[in-house]
Amino acid sequence: MTANDWAGLVLAFTSITGSLAIAVRFLVKYYLVELRPNSGSSIKDRVGEIEKKIDKLETRVDQIYTLLMDKQ
């Protein structure tokens, strides 16, 4: 291989590696933004709200069981 062939090979490898690095960086930034709390519009906030509703529901079901057991 000539020097020009080696230079082309190195340039192609560097370009592909750089493009992949930029793509990974973009994706990481995009998904990290989704995990930051921002007044209810992120995935993390929505999951937190659902967990709170589930906890309230479990508490109400426990109260219903207690009431039913007291009547028997």
How many CB atoms sit inside 10 A of residue 48's CB?
A: 13
pLDDT of 38 reads 67
Over the stretch 19-48, which tens digit does the pLDDT of each residue have?
A: 999 999 999 998 888 777 666 667 777 788
H runs (alpha helix) in 1-72: 3-35, 43-71
Global pTM?
0.47
